[in-house]
Structure 1
Amino acid sequence: MTSLLKQAEETLEKAHAGINPRWYPRYHLAARAGWMNDPNGLVWFDGWYHAFYQHHPYSTKWGPMHWGHARSKDLVHWEHMPVALAPEGPADKDGCFSGSAVVDGDTLALIYTGHKFHGPADTDDNLYQVQCLATSRDGIHFERHGMVIDTPPGLHHFRDPKVWREGEFWYMVVGSRVGNTGQVRLYRSTNLQEWHDEGILAEAEQGMGYMWECPDFFALNGSRVLMFSPQGLVAEGYKNRNLFQSGYLLGEWQPGQPFSHDGQFIEMDSGHDFYAPQSFLSPDGRRIVIGWLDMWESPMPEQQDGWAGMLSLPREVSLGDNNRLMMKPIAEVTALRGSYFPVPAHCLNNQRVFVAAEAEAVELLLEWERGTSLAEQYGMVLGDGLRIYVDNQAQRLVLERNYPDFSLMGTRSIPLPEGSILSLRIFIDRSSVEVFVNEGEACLSSRIYPQPGQRDIMLFANSGAAALKEAGYWSLDK
């Protein structure tokens, strides 16, 4: 272990003992202490799922990026591993930025962005981002091989490589910025070390963002999905309400051919906090996505507790009948379930019904009967800070959070989906909520910060009646 990795480990061990656990997740993956952002290097290798992530071990603020590391047998129960990468070479002296991982025979390869300034760091003119390689035989200790792709001429923002194998070649997509236009660039290799420039895979049209971060490109049900996080989209009505977005373009592609798509960018998650998702394949062939359950420049009250940032639940993605991505929690999350507690009331009429006390880690199932639920608003509340409800006048499903002490207030919403039953799976952790609608038709994910005594779950119906086909919850724990 290098001196910088050893120093990071010693810092984390000491800091972890001192964190305040009030909002630290019970079943989501978060760093032991310090700062976490993008998931990186999601991969199955040598009998384990591995999740790497952007990490600053020395403070709860973003800083010189390291790669944190955890592994799991089931994507639910995580074991923290030593920090995998530290910014300690000429190619990444100012940060080991986001990237991906692939299995090459008996070797685990990490491909990541080396972040460096040639001169003062106060101007992008001195910024250079290159793609680097590190390999491991045991999945824990990594040998660094330095830069494998230099910054293209005239570029400065050139980051977040995602690598996959197709036929006899490795392919890589990288996000970039040319002026105020976001791009995804494509590369090809036979050995992960020498890469051939295949040109621009996709480029932003007017209004589609000045930088495309964290690109991911994969096949799904015969189509090709370009998943990425564009920066610079303008909010439009209910769309693009967060500082930055995460979503996808759907189209067709074969090696050596252009990526053909309709230009329709579709957001993947409609909550306040979901960014930089990355996908990978499970051994049984499922396409699974994990995102950062936060948003840039949003308040993060947990910083005062010694940690910051967490990852979403792993989500299985599929392509629906309407050619839209579906995302639902992976089947393995049911292993967290304890006892099931049914809600006895199945009709609410201008009333509130108690469901659970001091809910820190639960999965709530609500199946509302749309045809007989005519209340102006009906849904659930967690304390006085979170409401998830149907607004019948607006015909929308709304996630509303109200934590004025932390400047976290406001709503996110989606149009009510069609169908006679509105099925909601709501996962509540100590400082997060993830809502899955109708088995993955839509998702809304947000951070929440309940104070002591503000964790009781209630159901409600205002100005009318609402009917439930099924309601209940499971306690969740590791």
Structure 2
Amino acid sequence: MYYNGYYHLFYQYNPRGAVWGNIVWAHSVSKDLINWETIEPAIYPSKPFDKYGCWSGSATIVPGKGPVILYTGVADEKQTQVQCFAVPENASDPYLRKWVKPDSINPLVVADTGVNGSAFRDPTTAWRSKADGHWRFLVGGRRGLRGVAHLYKSKDFVNWVKAKHPIHSSASTGMWECPDFYPVSVRGKQGLDASVVGKNVKHVLKSSLDMTRFEYYTIGKYMPEQDRYIPDKTSVDGWDGLRYDYGNFYASKSFFDPVKKRRVLWAWANESDSRVDDVQKGWAGILGVPRTLWLDSNRKQLVQWPVAELNSLRGNKVEVRNKRLRKGDYEEVNGITAAQADVEVTFSFSSLEKAELFDPKWVNAQDLCAQKGSKVEGGVGPFGLFTLASKNLEEFTPVFFRIFKAPNKHVVLLCSDASSSSLRSHLYKPSFAGFVDVDLADKKLSLRTLIDHSVVESFGAGGRTNILSRVYPEVAVADAAHLFVFNNGTEPISVENLKAWTMKSAIRN
């Protein structure tokens, strides 16, 4: 959240080790979303209603009251989950170091009859309806295999009543963790406060699916009078739906930044190595870079882009223009630190005639990427970047496009393939991928990739399809890491314009 001149970041943290357990709300503050100062945990188990854990939740800035945290407390060894309330002890402290949990209010919400109390967690930021003046928030849940977003309403932000029906649910999706619900403007990139409704506004409902460990969202219509949300017909509601990110990206949360009038998205990227590795290195789990998000002009999907403040870390810059790559070519990008870099590139091609035919059975992008990786020759593509590459390509993480020809359109695939990322054998090395909804009339595709030692975070076609991957090279480390552009398709590709920067480290503490 943003409050009184500071961004506040709260996150799930185990102060006693690098594995899950003893969960508290860690707390860091920043002036710019990039450089952070860690302060003491904001919330930790201290009451009967959260004795066994303080799990995820959200912050709401309540007019006249200031910030309020809603979070899930674990009340007993059976993992009974209740929703709790915390406020700053001293609202004049700019860092909001200490938080209190009023006994007279807590627990705020307890699962009633018909609600599964062991699958009842992660309250959203609240919003206020202009129609009746009441506050509302959602809590993720599950009924059998049906994912549910329970809705609660209050006049005073203290006494809450469950609505007769969930705001939305979907069959066979499993538990909805970390739901998020917010408005987006149908025009422009400006973000909206959670309480905004209107004819030029759509709503987004996101859930983190415990069964798949991926996140899915729909775009649709919120009807405040009925307390119902209905996805648009262009939004698939379930496991085949749209994702914020097609990689290692989970438990995300957005907030409205009132200073820059934008909606900012954060997500957790856990490790892809082993529990033993985590213990050895002494930490596990990161947050991706904060992303600004908005509704695409086609109104069918969201677009994301790293916050502009990230550019403040850009250092030494190199540029490549009009570099032609024939089949099998790869060229090194020299002059930057390839293990910690920001790369923006536009690829172009003169023809799509050589594009391979698309098989309608290829519905799963990740499977298709595994089948047709960067080493498999294509027609138009694969072309892109070899990131975190060793000099002789014993290790590399390719991020690349591949274009297919379907009856009425072309299908674009974006891959971030970790299968060759490390010589270490025990790692999880998936071929992450997503399809890209993009117009190829100008015969160009853009890619931005942030490389940060164990992270390759990519934004395809201006942020329409995004993939964050965790990789752990053994050879391509620090100064031994290299960056290449490549083409392994029969159609020549031009690197029309590539800009790459060595990235400085953010300041922490």
- TM-score normalised to structure 2 length: 0.77
What SS does structure 2 have at the residue aligned with 1:161?
coil
**After superposition, what is the alpha-carbon deviation per residue over 1:78-133, rounded to whole angstroms, capped at 9, x for unaligned?**
1111111111210011100000011233532111000122xxx4xxxx33110011
Assess if the C-alpha contact under 8 Å between 1:229 and 1:275 holds in 2.
yes
In the other structure, the counterpart of 1:457 is 483
Structure 1 residues 406 and 345, CA, compared in 2 at 3 Å: closer, same or farther?
Answer: farther
Deviation, structure 1 residue 433: 1.3
1:247-258 alignment, distance < 5 Å: 247-257=216-226, 258=228
**After superposition, what is the alpha-carbon deviation per residue over 1:338-386, rounded to whole angstroms, capped at 9, x for unaligned?**
1321136611223221114652321101100033585542221121131
Residue type matched to 2:79 in 1?
A: L
In the other structure, the counterpart of 1:114 is 73
Assess if the C-alpha contact under 8 Å between 1:109 and 1:135 holds in 2.
yes
1:78-477 alignment, distance < 5 Å: 78-104=36-62, 105=64, 107-117=66-76, 121=77, 126-136=78-88, 137=91, 138=93, 139-145=96-102, 146-154=106-114, 155-156=116-117, 157-166=119-128, 167=130, 168-207=133-172, 209-221=173-185, 222-232=201-211, 243-257=212-226, 258-262=228-232, 264-265=236-237, 266-283=241-258, 284-294=260-270, 299=274, 301-323=277-299, 324-343=301-320, 346-349=323-326, 350-356=328-334, 358-371=337-350, 376-382=381-387, 383=389, 384-392=395-403, 395-401=412-418, 402=420, 403=422, 404-416=424-436, 417-419=438-440, 420-454=443-477, 455-464=481-490, 465-477=492-504
Separation in structure 1 between the aligned mates of residue 148 and residue 70 of structure 2, nearest angstrom: 19
What SS does structure 1 have at the residue aligned with 2:81?
strand
Structure 2: runs of 5 or more not aligned: 186-200, 353-378, 390-394, 405-410
Separation in structure 1 between the aligned mates of residue 145 and residue 434 of structure 2, nearest angstrom: 30
Deviation, structure 1 residue 219: 0.9
Question: Larger % of strand: which?
Answer: 1
Deviation, structure 1 residue 255: 2.4
Assess if the C-alpha contact under 8 Å between 1:379 and 1:387 holds in 2.
yes
Deviation, structure 1 residue 463: 4.9
What SS does structure 1 have at the residue aligned with 2:41?
coil
In the other structure, the counterpart of 1:36 is none
Assess if the C-alpha contact under 8 Å between 2:27 and 2:40 holds in 1.
yes
Structure 1 residues 458 and 87, CA, compared in 2 at 3 Å: closer, same or farther?
Answer: same
Structure 1 residues 213 and 467, CA, compared in 2 at 3 Å: closer, same or farther?
Answer: same
Separation in structure 1 between the aligned mates of residue 338 and residue 474 of structure 2, nearest angstrom: 12
Assess if the C-alpha contact under 8 Å between 1:270 and 1:412 holds in 2.
no
Assess if the C-alpha contact under 8 Å between 2:321 and 2:496 holds in 1.
no
What SS does structure 2 have at the residue aligned with 1:91?
helix
Separation in structure 1 between the aligned mates of residue 209 and residue 53 of structure 2, nearest angstrom: 21
Deviation, structure 1 residue 164: 2.2
In the other structure, the counterpart of 2:195 is none
CA RMSD across the alignment: 2.2
Deviation, structure 1 residue 140: 1.4
Residue type matched to 2:223 in 1?
A: Q
Residue type matched to 2:434 in 1?
A: I
Residue type matched to 1:428 in 2?
A: I
Structure 1 residues 148 and 423, CA, compared in 2 at 3 Å: closer, same or farther?
Answer: same
Assess if the C-alpha contact under 8 Å between 2:339 and 2:482 holds in 1.
no
Structure 1 residues 378 and 452, CA, compared in 2 at 3 Å: closer, same or farther?
Answer: same
- TM-score normalised to structure 1 length: 0.82
Deviation, structure 1 residue 204: 3.7
Structure 1 residues 76 and 451, CA, compared in 2 at 3 Å: closer, same or farther?
Answer: same
Structure 1 residues 180 and 414, CA, compared in 2 at 3 Å: closer, same or farther?
Answer: closer
Structure 1 residues 114 and 56, CA, compared in 2 at 3 Å: closer, same or farther?
Answer: same
Deviation, structure 1 residue 192: 2.2
**After superposition, what is the alpha-carbon deviation per residue over 1:320-350, rounded to whole angstroms, capped at 9, x for unaligned?**
1222111111222111211321136611223
Separation in structure 1 between the aligned mates of residue 29 and residue 177 of structure 2, nearest angstrom: 25
Indicate the larger mover: 359-368 or 48-57. Answer: 359-368
In the other structure, the counterpart of 2:198 is none
Assess if the C-alpha contact under 8 Å between 1:372 and 1:467 holds in 2.
no
What SS does structure 2 have at the residue aligned with 1:332?
helix
Residue type matched to 2:70 in 1?
A: I
Deviation, structure 1 residue 176: 1.0
**After superposition, what is the alpha-carbon deviation per residue over 1:159-191, rounded to whole angstroms, capped at 9, x for unaligned?**
000132323332110001222221001111233
Separation in structure 1 between the aligned mates of residue 316 and residue 493 of structure 2, nearest angstrom: 26
Residue type matched to 2:155 in 1?
A: T
**After superposition, what is the alpha-carbon deviation per residue over 1:21-57, rounded to whole angstroms, capped at 9, x for unaligned?**
xxxxxxxxxxxxxxxxxxxxxx111111111001111
What SS does structure 2 have at the residue aligned with 1:343?
strand
Separation in structure 2 between the aligned mates of residue 406 and residue 77 of structure 1, nearest angstrom: 34
